[in-house]
Chain A
């Protein structure tokens, strides 16, 4: 062994986390290409070589979709009240507090109104940084209120999903958010107000089984994981490997559960066009 070789691997890669790292250079998960951060940003966090769509946060989506400076956030400081006083390996209360500090978010969704090519819309964008984008009472309530805003103002509704599903730490309350948001969407549909659902990586569990799958038009980003049960659970249940591309956007398109797969750079234009057709 040379004197310069490392005796042990003391820098381990953060295997699971795929948020945008803080360094100047980023390695593409799709093709291993090393890309400079500035280049990534100007290309909306999409690899120019292989079109891999990096996971981005709610602020990024707001800047991509809305006319500059037009977005006004609602219910910004709504936060979980920990109604079950839930504790697993640590308390839910501590989990919330440390996540708020780390992510600068109060919960896993941002809602508000703004303009897309001059057209006012009501909007919700989930954010994976907050406890895996999980849906508890805050997410449900904020989304329900955003849909109500679309209803009372007669403006289109857009929800971007990015979520592991319903949040365990709020028990049955989390489950009921699925019914709460779907009931609001039923009223919106009766009023003939368009709702577009955008699915990003990942959209699973109770989120998929409620508002995410209820769009008049459902758009997915390329290669996003979208499903009800997680792939690991399915694999364990059936005891077989899953087919290539299973539960990816292209798979859902093929099976008839999304309308379009849209590249991030085309998202705003497609939304605008759809709003025009559905008005």
Chain B
């Protein structure tokens, strides 16, 4: 049973606890009927709750502390991962991890934001908020992949690029901008997957690619609902409205033609079954890779320019 219960999950949690309690007496008392009907009730309730999530609830699921993170996906989807470290200028950023790995028989460069699970590991990972050296490490690894003609997979999950003094001194904006430019002309396939939070430039800094996928319960936008609320409503209390207004869910982004595909999650979210989501994602990644690996490098780059060139709605 999960410890981290979100507000809207409370009725499900209560019912499940009751069910568990009843099961204890199943052998001694004749309550099989009641247990069965309660089981059905739980399933119905789950479908009702998880099938009608608001955008803010999606944001909460995307941030669920038990969700699989980049390293979890790497261990569940690939073999023989060798993590590579450092930007070769300054430091090794712990908020972005990456390295070579085997996905079935295909060698890939896999890179992603990395959050921590508890206070200690979150401090170590800086809550998944990269500094410039993280973006520069990511770029170094992508160039390495390009040199040896290996496809790149990036996993996005960040509350944003870190807003700090050092980050500014070391060129946070330049590091992100450089990645956008270099990723747009990288001569190997890039698949981008939003696995949790896709907060603004901090996410996009490793998010330019040929195929953009989003897990079902994730968000991706120009700003977090909280910050949007604080700027536009001048109060932190309008995050639900801000989430609605920003239209930041996977379904929204598919409709906006910004992403290509939604990766379905287990009922209740990716954290309910790490193996199931990782297996599902791997299958999709492999099929996408097969298609992309058939394209010539020039064609890939040309398509990428066109892809991002077509994003946006305006009237003339």
Contacts and interface: CB of A to CB of B under 8 A. Distances in A.
Contacts of B247: 84, 171-172
A213 interface: yes
Interface stretch (A1-9, A26-34, A114-122, A227-235): A227-235
B169 to A, nearest CB: 5
A79 B201 contact: no
Interface string A207-235: 01111111000000000000111100110
Interface string B292-316: 0000000000001100110111111
Given A178-B180, A247-B168, A255-B171, 13 more contacts: A78-B316, A83-B313, A166-B200, A168-B223, A170-B312, A172-B221, A172-B253, A176-B258, A190-B185, A209-B161, A210-B176, A230-B163, A256-B171
Size band of the interface chain B makes with A = 35 or more
Contacts of B253: 172
Interface stretch (A35-43, A64-72, A238-246, A269-277): A238-246
Contacts of A209: 161, 172-174, 176-177, 180, 201, 205
Interface string A157-198: 000000000111111111111111011111101100000000
28 contacts: A81-B313, A81-B314, A88-B228, A141-B312, A166-B223, A168-B231, A171-B221, A172-B221, A172-B222, A172-B247, A172-B252, A173-B258, A177-B311, A178-B201, A180-B312, A184-B309, A190-B185, A206-B200, A211-B177, A213-B177, A214-B181, A228-B161, A228-B167, A228-B168, A228-B173, A228-B176, A229-B172, A255-B170
Nearest to B163: A229
Interface in B149-195: 161-165, 167-174, 176-178, 180-182, 184-185
Interface of B: 161-165, 167-174, 176-178, 180-182, 184-185, 200-201, 204-205, 207-208, 220-223, 227-228, 231-233, 238, 241-242, 245-248, 252-253, 256, 258, 304-305, 308-309, 311-316
Residue among A171, A190, A206, A208 with the highest chain B CB neighbour number at 10 A: A171
Interface in A230-270: 230, 233-234, 237-238, 242-243, 246-247, 255-257
Contact of B256 (A172, A238, A256): A172
Given A168-B232, A172-B253, A257-B174, A183 B305 contact: yes
A202 interface: no
Interface residues of A, number: 65
A86 interface: yes
A89 interface: yes
B308 A183 contact: yes
A19 interface: no
A20 to B, nearest CB: 26
